Structure 1
Amino acid sequence: MHNEMMSDKFHEECGVFGIIGHEKSAELTYYGLYALQHRGQESAGIVTVDGRKLYQHKGMGLVSEVFNEEILKTLVGNAAIGHVRYSTTGDSSVANAQPLTFGFQRGNMALAHNGNLTNAYQIHGRLERQGSIFQTTSDTEVVAHLIAKSGMPTIEENMRESLSVIKGAYAILILTDDKLVAVRDPHGLRPLALGQFEGAYVVASETCAFDAIGASYVRDVEPGEMIIIDKNGLRSQKFAHASKTSFCTFEYIYFARPDSDIDGFNVHSIRKKLGKLLAEEHPVEADVVIGVPDSSISAAIGYAEETAIPYEIGLIKNRYVGRTFIQPSQELRERGVKLKLSAVRKVVEGKRVVLIDDSIVRGTTSKRIVQMLREAGATEVHLLISSPPVKDACYYGIDTSAREELIAADKTVKEIQEYIGADSLHYLSEEKMLSAFGVTDMANHKFCNACFTGTYPTEIYESLEKHMLER
């Protein structure tokens, strides 16, 4: 469904934003989502509440395309949650756009979810057999049905009971008539942070959303923590304890914005450190270092500083071209890279170029960029990757390809180099990558590297498919 349309990069599934206690909740959520746009470009939605009624608007496209001033005026209330989406589970339609809203016996509820539930397929089947009727193919709806079925007296108790059933990765925001609830999975696989703004509380996937509205960062939501915010203030409870946390290294390598801080680490600083470590591990004789914009710029600067090879802007990104994943064919996707990126001839002509990128997924984009640099006159192109080879699929809310589509799953580094056409190809080792976070004990650390190692922090069910609820 999506595989033929995706560009040659992983895609984060979603970004979430919530606020309670501010009269301009819809407007602030709009700006928060705008800052999280990189986490999903397929659909956007906002739900507000005024204590009695939910107000919602969602649609396909970018935040700026889905909302305007007139629409935001209709979203009244002092609490809101918002969502930007790139679908993994569930198909591409406005029905699956979030937040999802529900009315049931105990009032109204809206849900926004970043992540992927690895046992959603099993729960979905069980709930259907018990009489549940599903409106969407999104795994998020499974959570809503579990909450609705729970007979506990409070939303917190309903949530606790539901969360004891679901497995996988999740950062979930729930808006009720009088509360905002934020939960993060026990492993901390998906990020979630808490902030404050003018007496209101805000929650977001990344701290860059706080910066966008002028909110102050308070702390990260802890793995296995549920935060409940209402007119009485904030209270917190632990609903689960994992044997170990498993923060996603790919958030730092590629997904998150460089100005975000996640679980105590600044994204730009980590990327720059990965570049320095790449230089230590793989020094190359060259005349210029360039990075693939935007996610690899920080690593390229780190590599250049460490080697004293000049850093230059050798690739320019056209920011007004639609994302390459909207182009259906392989041929168009490869052509689309040229629409999106152009080489700066004066920078690379007659030069030995070190090209820094954060990852190689299928290899099609890397191949086209190397070709583009040669066409612009580069005499040598050395491709260096600031992460290990991606060999396995992710089941935690990142739209990776099926394993057989990952070039490193069945090709050696030498074979990948030959396919891409680079003069040399070097990956950062897992050990060096983890050392950027201060890890010294490879057997005992707090990060998820499943896409590099195939070792998953949670059980992966045999019947789990990439689009598990699609029929």
Structure 2
Amino acid sequence: MAEVVRHNCGLTVAHSLHDAYRFIHSLQHRGREAAGIAAVGDGRIDVIKWKGGVSRFDVTDLHKIFLSPNYHTYMAHVRYATRGSKDKILEEAHPHVIGGSVEHRDNHILIWDCDVAAVHNGQVDRAFFQDTDPLHLYSSCDTEALLYLYRERGAHNFLKEVPGAYTLAIADKRERDVIAIRDRTGIKPGVLGWKDGKYVMASEDIAFRKNGGEYVEDLEPGAIYSLTPEGNYNKEVVVSTDLAYCFFEWNYITDLDSIINGVSVRRIRESLGEMLSEEFLPPDVDLVTYLPRCPEVAARAYAKQAELPFEPVFYKMRGAGERKESIDQNLHLLPGMAQKLKGKTVILIDDSIIRGNNSKRACDLLYEKAGVKQAYLVSYTPPIGIIGDDGVSRGCTFGVDMPPDPPPGDEFIARGRTAEAISEAMGLPVIYLSQQGMLEAFARAGLPERDLCTYCIGGRMPFEAAGSLIQIGDRPQLDLWRA
């Protein structure tokens, strides 16, 4: 698993507090640092946000906090930080708001009678807000700046002018409807659903299907969806699409049983495993396994295609941290595996290798504890964070916590290293699926290369170069797509 990359966020819009809570709980895999809910009524928005997972607050207590019978819509969010200060998790959790009366309650915050609130998945690079007046903002999170931009420019101009990754929902007490917006590239997923006779929205369809709802459609990139208090919706396409779906959503982030942008996550991962077996199949392999948990489907597909035995070797606990000290305490051999693996040759499949901490721990267990003869670490994602052919250092500033300029200790294992140097650093042979092989696997499952963002592995920037920066305040804002 990719060092439990702090990847992303999940959001939902529903018409009952119970549904909002259950939907966002089903998206817990998208964020575990903080959670929050906005209760929306005619002319009123109230917010709660808290540290940790969704279940740290019981839904019965939330019903006691949000007592008003006048709420008609609820927005909920789970977060991993990609922008903002990670030592201020609670303050920078979603929903972000303008206005309201704030009550700090140790491990949670209540905000009463807000003017506007937003929940957001994605990221708009801070360069676009370089001239933002800091007096306007209470956090360093990009979502708050986006909220001010929405207030100044309106939803239509917002969608036309802001280049970046955003699937977001906004409640404005001047309006009755809650709006959901997806940027023209569609980098981050978003789906419309149906539950108890009303339309709802979430990051993934698994939120509906696990909780008695139905999938209706993927949110169209470049469109605004207005969700009415009565449970209907209106859709307006504002800008034409320029698709750049994040491939990492299928490779790692999204739930295995979700279908996003019309393509099954399970099918993509099976296709990636099959392609791996076509590109790399050494002789005398005794066993195929995987690093828990994401690559299991790909590893099974690899083993089936290669006609090799498959068996789980490792286990780990859910919710443990991703840094090295946590990995050392959490990744373990299954009982009896040390004896079973002795003298064997093993294919170890991972979804990606970002920093290498998890993979190094697995290598130590296989060689030192189990005494394998040979282990191959095989990733179905090409090297991430490399320096592209254009000389630009890669990473992600579109909603996955893989910045091109990582802090010390978080460096990309692949940057500046040859395949041989990576293998030496990891302590075992490391093989990556080729970029062309990955793209072919996606194409076989129904996603052409032209519709994908592959910037982090050397592909093109998904947004056109901006000639000017967005400004918030009384200065003009330029259309960055045309600048």
Distance 1:462 1:96, change over 3 A: farther
Q: Provide the C-alpha distance between the structure 2 equivalents of 1:126 and 1:108, rounded to a whole number of angstroms.
A: 20
Q: Is the 8 A contact 1:362 1:406 kept in 2?
A: yes
Distance 1:47 1:440, change over 3 A: closer
Distance 1:223 1:279, change over 3 A: same
Whichever residue aligns with residue 95 of structure 2, its letter is P
Is residue 77 of structure 2 the alignment partner of residue 83 of structure 1? Answer: yes
Question: CA offset at residue 164 of structure 1?
Answer: 2.7
Question: CA offset at residue 348 of structure 1?
Answer: 2.5
The gaps in structure 2 that reach 5 residues or longer are 101-112, 387-393, 470-483
Q: Is the 8 A contact 2:21 2:59 kept in 1?
A: no
Match of 1:372 among 365, 371, 385: 365
Whichever residue aligns with residue 399 of structure 1, its letter is D
Q: Provide the C-alpha distance between the structure 2 equivalents of 1:403 and 1:306, rounded to a whole number of angstroms.
A: 38
Deviations 1:360-392 (A, max 9, x none): 111222112111111222221111111111122
Is residue 220 of structure 2 the alignment partner of residue 222 of structure 1? Answer: yes
Distance 1:348 1:78, change over 3 A: farther
Question: CA offset at residue 73 of structure 1?
Answer: 3.2
Q: Which residue of 2 aligns with 1:456?
A: 461
Question: CA offset at residue 336 of structure 1?
Answer: 2.4
Q: Which residue of 2 aligns with 1:59?
A: 50
Q: Provide the C-alpha distance between the structure 1 equivalents of 2:322 and 2:401, rounded to a whole number of angstroms.
A: 15
Question: CA offset at residue 78 of structure 1?
Answer: 2.5
Q: Which residue of 2 aligns with 1:179?
A: 177
Matches within 5 A, 1:198-217: 198-217=196-215
Deviations 1:392-412 (A, max 9, x none): 210101100445621212101
Deviations 1:452-471 (A, max 9, x none): 1152111467999xxxxxxx
Distance 1:58 1:17, change over 3 A: same
Q: Which residue of 2 aligns with 1:96?
A: 92
The alignment's C-alpha RMSD in Å is 2.5
Whichever residue aligns with residue 406 of structure 1, its letter is F
Matches within 5 A, 1:67-216: 67-75=58-66, 76=68, 77-92=71-86, 93=88, 94-103=90-99, 108-118=115-125, 120-123=126-129, 125-128=131-134, 133-150=136-153, 158-177=154-173, 178-216=176-214
Q: Report the 3-state secondary structure (helix = DSSP H, G, I; strand = E; otherwise coil) of the residue aligned with 2:161.
A: coil
Q: Report the 3-state secondary structure (helix = DSSP H, G, I; strand = E; otherwise coil) of the residue aligned with 2:216.
A: strand
Match of 1:16 among 7, 11, 16: 11
Distance 1:13 1:96, change over 3 A: same
Q: Report the 3-state secondary structure (helix = DSSP H, G, I; strand = E; otherwise coil) of the residue aligned with 1:27.
A: helix
Question: CA offset at residue 139 of structure 1?
Answer: 0.8
Is residue 390 of structure 2 the alignment partner of residue 383 of structure 1? Answer: no
Is residue 451 of structure 2 the alignment partner of residue 446 of structure 1? Answer: yes
Q: Is the 8 A contact 2:271 2:444 kept in 1?
A: no
Q: Provide the C-alpha distance between the structure 2 equivalents of 1:213 and 1:73, rounded to a whole number of angstroms.
A: 22
Question: CA offset at residue 239 of structure 1?
Answer: 1.8
Q: Provide the C-alpha distance between the structure 1 equivalents of 2:247 and 2:286, rounded to a whole number of angstroms.
A: 31
Q: Which residue of 1 aligns with 2:109?
A: none
Moved more, 50-59 or 348-357: 50-59
Match of 1:409 among 409, 412, 415: 415
Q: Provide the C-alpha distance between the structure 2 equivalents of 1:74 and 1:280, rounded to a whole number of angstroms.
A: 56
Q: Is the 8 A contact 1:124 1:142 kept in 2?
A: no
Deviations 1:31-64 (A, max 9, x none): 1111111111111000112323222211111111
Q: Which residue of 1 aligns with 2:28?
A: 37
Is residue 435 of structure 2 the alignment partner of residue 430 of structure 1? Answer: yes
Whichever residue aligns with residue 3 of structure 2, its letter is D
Q: Report the 3-state secondary structure (helix = DSSP H, G, I; strand = E; otherwise coil) of the residue aligned with 2:221.
A: coil
Question: CA offset at residue 181 of structure 1?
Answer: 0.7
Q: Which residue of 2 aligns with 1:26?
A: 17
Q: Report the 3-state secondary structure (helix = DSSP H, G, I; strand = E; otherwise coil) of the residue aligned with 1:82.
A: strand
Whichever residue aligns with residue 108 of structure 1, its letter is D
Distance 1:292 1:453, change over 3 A: same
Distance 1:222 1:290, change over 3 A: same
Question: CA offset at residue 192 of structure 1?
Answer: 0.5
Q: Which residue of 2 aligns with 1:469?
A: none
Q: Provide the C-alpha distance between the structure 2 equivalents of 1:463 and 1:32, rounded to a whole number of angstroms.
A: 39
Q: Is the 8 A contact 1:192 1:204 kept in 2?
A: yes
Q: Provide the C-alpha distance between the structure 1 equivalents of 2:127 and 2:443, rounded to a whole number of angstroms.
A: 37
Q: Is the 8 A contact 1:247 1:446 kept in 2?
A: yes
Whichever residue aligns with residue 224 of structure 2, its letter is M
Q: Is the 8 A contact 1:403 1:409 kept in 2?
A: no
Deviations 1:222-280 (A, max 9, x none): 111111121472111112224x3000100001111101101011111111110011001
Q: Report the 3-state secondary structure (helix = DSSP H, G, I; strand = E; otherwise coil) of the residue aligned with 1:183.
A: strand
Moved more, 53-62 or 355-364: 53-62
Q: Provide the C-alpha distance between the structure 1 equivalents of 2:423 and 2:38, rounded to a whole number of angstroms.
A: 48
Q: Provide the C-alpha distance between the structure 2 equivalents of 1:278 and 1:159, rounded to a whole number of angstroms.
A: 44
Q: Which residue of 1 aligns with 2:330?
A: 340
Q: Provide the C-alpha distance between the structure 1 equivalents of 2:30 and 2:468, rounded to a whole number of angstroms.
A: 27
Whichever residue aligns with residue 69 of structure 1, its letter is T
Q: Is the 8 A contact 1:12 1:399 kept in 2?
A: yes
Whichever residue aligns with residue 237 of structure 1, its letter is E
Higher normalized helix content (fraction of residues) = 1
Distance 1:12 1:442, change over 3 A: closer
Q: Provide the C-alpha distance between the structure 1 equivalents of 2:9 and 2:273, rounded to a whole number of angstroms.
A: 27
Q: Is the 8 A contact 2:267 2:445 kept in 1?
A: no
Identity %: 31
Whichever residue aligns with residue 89 of structure 1, its letter is R
Q: Report the 3-state secondary structure (helix = DSSP H, G, I; strand = E; otherwise coil) of the residue aligned with 1:407.
A: coil
Whichever residue aligns with residue 361 of structure 1, its letter is I
Q: TM-score, normalised by structure 1?
A: 0.86
Question: CA offset at residue 12 of structure 1?
Answer: 1.7
> How many residues in Structure 1 have an aligned counterpart in Structure 2?
431
Q: TM-score, normalised by structure 2?
A: 0.84
Matches within 5 A, 1:317-356: 317-319=316-318, 322-325=320-323, 333=324, 335-344=325-334, 345=337, 346-356=339-349
Match of 1:398 among 379, 396, 400: 400
Q: Is the 8 A contact 1:58 1:66 kept in 2?
A: no
